Amino acid sequence: MPPALAAAAWALRAAVWACLAASAMLVAEAAYMGLASLAAAALWRRRPLQRRYRWEPMPGAAGGDVEEGPAAAAEFPMVLVQIPMYNEREVSRRRFQNLCFSLLSV
């Protein structure tokens, strides 16, 4: 076998082993992440509902709403909501109608 061909065969063999090692690492990582996710889900389900969710209202104004009243303007920043529109007239019209309806119902 010529030396150039032997060197190419050795390089290809090394590349195959490197790919095999990388594939084994991916399988091991996927198995580990799957087991970790199952363990986390099992531990989360064992917690009582009172510790999982906070059911009591947030402290704040008289009605319990912290975003109500004159002090809320100083405490909470204004928020800009950007709605992506992809040059579709009907979709944009419905989005604006729904947005106006939701703002009027609040």
Statement: the pTM of the whole predicted model exceeds 0.85: no
The residue whose two tokens read 């992440």 is 33
Length of the chain: 106
Tokens read off for 8: 């190419």
Are residues 80 and 74 in contact, defined by beta-carbon separation less than 8 angstroms?
A: no
**Weakest-pLDDT range from 16-20, 49-53, 77-81:** 49-53
In a domain, residue 72? The reply is: no
Cα atoms in the 13 Å half-sphere on the side-chain side of 37: 6
Tell me the C-alpha distance between 103 and 106, whole Å: 6
Report if residue 66 sits inside a domain: no
Name the residue range of residue 15's domain. 3-53+78-105
Query: What's the number of domains the chain is made of?
Result: 1
Residue 51 to residue 53: CA distance in whole angstroms:
6
The tens digit of pLDDT for each residue in 59-94 reads 654 555 666 666 666 677 777 777 776 766 777 777
